[in-house]
Chains A and B, each alone.
Chain A
Amino acid sequence: MASVSMTVNGRSFHGEVEGRTLLVEFLRETLGLTGTHVGCDTSQCGACVVHVGGRSVKSCTMLAVEADGAEVTTIEGVASGGSLHPMQAAFKEHHGLQCGFCTPGMVMSGIDLVARKPSPSESEVRHWLEGNLCRCTGYHNIVKAVQAAAREMGG
């Protein structure tokens, strides 16, 4: 067992984990933050994307111990108070989600894109989302939502 401490959505957590425990397992099973999803076992689908140190990371591809000391943000942590984050609001407004399973990863990935590139083109959004699979929307409204959120976020 290894000892791990991290700040998740602004709260400090300390726990003992097996060395092989993935960050996503720690979030879902130890902390009960089930908004981060697991959709594959080859790091392809992106349903598990969270932010570690402000950058998007596939939490199925990182050990919990690697996040020791890090600031982690999950989908549960992006709304402030009762207000949705502009990326969440844009997904709702533009119908960028259907079954909702890929949505947390899409939103977290979209937020990181806009942080890096405040005004992404359609092509930039589509290529950025290469690591996030959605089977419901055909990506049409996801791309619209990310671009709309970028505008809202001041890009």
Chain B
Amino acid sequence: MSDTGIGAALRRKEDARFLTGKGRYTDDINRPGQLFAYIVRSPEAHARIRGIDATEASGAPGVVAVLTGKDLAEDGIGGLPCGWQIHSKDGSPMIEPPHPPLVVDRVRHVGDQVAVVLAESRSQAKAAAALVDVDYEPLPAVVSPADATADGAPQVWDEVPGNVCFDWEIGDEAATSAAFEAAAHVVSLDIVNNRLIPNAIEPRAAIGEYDANADSYTLYTSSQNPHVIRLLMGAFVMGIPEHKLRVVSPDVGGGFGSKIFHYAEEVIVTWAAKRVGRPVKWTAERSESFMSDAHGRDHVTHAELALDADGRFTGLRVHTKANLGAYLSTFGSAVPTYLYATLFAGCYTTPAIYANVQAIFTNTVAVDAYRGAGRPEAAFLIERLVDTAARRLGMDPVELRRRNFIQPDQFPYQTPVALEYDVGDYPATLDAALELADYEGFAARREEARARGKLRGIGVSTFVEACGIAPSAVAGALGARAGLFEVGHVRVHPTGSVTVFTGAHSHGQGHETTFAQLVSDRLGVPADQVEVVHGDTAQVAFGMGTYGSRSLAVGGSAIYMATEKIIEKGKKIAAHLMEASPEDVVFEDGSFTVAGTDKSKALAEVSLAAYVPHNYPEGLEPGLDETAFYDPKNFTFPAGAHVVEVEIDPDTGVVKLVGVACADDVGRVINPMIVDGQMHGGLAQGIGQALLESCEYDASGQLITGSYMNYTMPRAADLPFFKTGRHITNCTHNPLGVKGVGEVGSIGVPPAVINAVVDALSEYGIEHLDMPATPERVWRAIQTARA
């Protein structure tokens, strides 16, 4: 390996441009002659559109056009597709209502797209948008999944009776019922998994451009997966073949899931650019982000755990109503099903599991993947049930977990809910976290806090996640409408420097550094001689993008496979140059050597011969440029143990985080600095969910938390320093042994926080609190308990 290879805490290559203001985000790009688009959005949660009068807006200064859903339909533009088809338990496919980029006659949530104004300047477009007169006939709205399934509830879609998009199940219902009948103890909880708004700090933006001479389109968009957008928008919405549509996702300022999906605005700017013959640029204002970026979570769940007399888990039964919002977003149907209930075994040997999920349409923004996507919801209910069981049984929560862990010698482990975990060591991971948290010393800290009038609590969660999404055949069998492989392309240039083209997309993860390290490690080239290119369909052959902690496990593996092809070909060239047999050539530390001799050729000598093939193996193609498509054999299964300590002021209900310690098994670590950074970010978002954040609608469907004035983002003073540790077992089925780290924090920490809060409040007999544990909620719980 090189000293810029695997395991080095290399400082990031991308930082230089970001630190000097030279990043190039979508809104930093301006195209000659561009117009600005401003979207007219519905102020109503649910209404029929009686008419749209754009006369005044059309005549406003600078306005070039005002376009509506009727214009879109006239041009034959289709609706946004859903990428995953779920079947209900009766075998029927989910109901898929249309999802037009601009509505025609009915709006279904506040923020729904009604019209677009195109003008010479941003301010002119915005001013004119206020003049578009939309005649709304308000209809009754429904915002919560529980209300939406009640008798007589308003209907979001005429074709979806009862607002149920699908009614899905997994697991063995009869075996689970039998486990509950035979149980010594049954613990149940009603759990709300609070709705969240992702809030990447860069608002979404898109620029559409049409070249009439070439009859081709370019879309710049703040997306996590430009190739997927090209596929969906080209093939399903606009009917543009791939070779006539270039999608560029330049620097993207955070995604967290919210920039995976194909959004209406991408279609609007691309379509409008051709229609008016000028580039069209749109950048969301933050207020628009709140009401148009897909939201996350929003489950209402009844969960039950059956235990035998010794505290062993014998059954788990879960009924969830998942809010889809008003439309099926790209992955909206996969999140509350295959990314959720397949994780219900957690780290435990629970033999019988049954889950039923009803996915419900409401008059709210579409709900889709947000950092963790289904897996945080799973971990939260399991870990809250386990802690509640420990409390009811009078057992130590750590001991109860240990008693039920899948043991290291039980892998590969087939769960009752479809997944086969390949590897892990849950007891060791837990030990590492407990040590980091000084779990043993907690009793003394609690006493010390009590003397100061504070309630101190400690909470643990142990969890597993399915990442590295996904083996295409498995995903296909489960309803995915696309493959989930990744593409890696490694080009060794004549003088030995390297360009890597990856279908993964970096929007903060540091791929330009980590992927360079991978190549540096394998090819022996210093990382500063390796350039990583991503985010442009014109440069990268294909790709499925970045989500589900897949970039390294799938995209990194593809790059690795391409380097293997480079080495194989290099051996043939080197053997020829050294007059040896290719079988006798070994590649190590950047050189091809004839085994057992001092004959050696550096990679750069071989690459030069590949491009100047004067003395070259007969029949071998020139060049040293290889592409690999890597389709994973299984999901990866990162796991971890998180320990949180809180101190509560009983007079105010304020929860202060005093300790966050985690040990995670993320598989092999390429860059420990970047891995720690990913853990920090995930923890902050998980803590945000547990203590601060919640998207709230009022009963009429108005978004109450529509800005940073009233949606509580974690700020620096809300968080402590984190203690991050690791206990690693390498993934067994990908060539790098990596598992993924992007989501561990947001999955693992919310239940640990609430377990700690409940522990602190245990003297009041409080058994559960819904997230977020705001001062008001905690204070009210204390007052109720005291009364």
Contacts and interface: CB of A to CB of B under 8 A. Distances in A.
Interface string B14-29: 1111111111110110
Interface stretch (A51-59, A63-71, A91-99): A91-99
B673 A95 contact: yes
Residue picked from A38, A47, A130, most chain B C-beta under 10 Å: A38
Contact of A100 (B23, B674, B709): B23
A98 B20 contact: no
Interface string B653-695: 0000000000000000000011011001111110000000000
Nearest to B23: A100
Contact of B716 (A28, A35, A125): A125
Contacts, number: 176
B508 interface: yes
Interface stretch (B186-194, B200-208, B318-326, B409-417): B200-208
Contact of B19 (A103, A123, A132, A141): A103
A98 B254 contact: yes
Contacts of B297: none
Given A97-B19, A135-B685, A39 B12 contact: no
Interface in B703-732: 707-709, 713-717, 719, 721-722
Contacts of B11: 92-93, 95
Interface in A28-46: 28, 33-42, 44-45
Nearest to A101: B253
A147 B22 CA distance: 24
Nearest to A94: B673
B615 to A, nearest CB: 42
A142 B28 CA distance: 24
A41 B23 contact: no
A79 B191 CA distance: 51
Contact of A135 (B18, B254, B716, B721): B254
A132 B714 CA distance: 10
B21 A39 contact: no
Contacts of B251: 99-100
B684 A138 contact: yes
A137 B685 CA distance: 10
A149 B627 CA distance: 43
A20 interface: yes
B115 to A, nearest CB: 21
Contact of B200 (A36, A44, A99): A99
A119 interface: no
B123 interface: yes
B84 interface: no
A36 B18 CA distance: 11
Contacts of B17: 100
B199 interface: yes
Contacts of A23: none
B286 A35 contact: no
Nearest to A99: B508
Contacts of B680: 137-141
Contacts of A104: 21
B674 A140 contact: no
Given A130-B715, A138-B684, A143 B721 contact: yes
A143 B719 CA distance: 11
Interface in B171-221: 199-203
Interface string A87-129: 0100111010111111110010000000000000011011101
Nearest to A102: B201
A137 B253 CA distance: 12
Given A98-B508, A98-B677, A140 B721 contact: yes
A75 interface: yes
A90 to B, nearest CB: 10
A140 B722 contact: yes
A19 B24 CA distance: 28
4 closest residue pairs by CB, A with B: A35-B21, A101-B253, A100-B18, A138-B684
Interface of B: 11-12, 14-25, 27-28, 123, 199-203, 251-254, 256, 285-287, 507-510, 673-674, 676-677, 680-685, 707-709, 713-717, 719, 721-722, 745
27 contacts: A18-B123, A39-B203, A42-B707, A91-B19, A92-B11, A92-B19, A95-B11, A95-B676, A97-B18, A98-B509, A99-B252, A99-B507, A100-B14, A101-B23, A103-B19, A107-B19, A129-B716, A130-B715, A133-B201, A133-B713, A135-B200, A138-B681, A138-B682, A138-B722, A139-B684, A143-B716, A143-B721
Interface of A: 18, 20, 28, 33-42, 44-45, 47, 74-76, 79, 84, 88, 91-93, 95, 97-104, 107, 122-123, 125-127, 129-130, 132-143
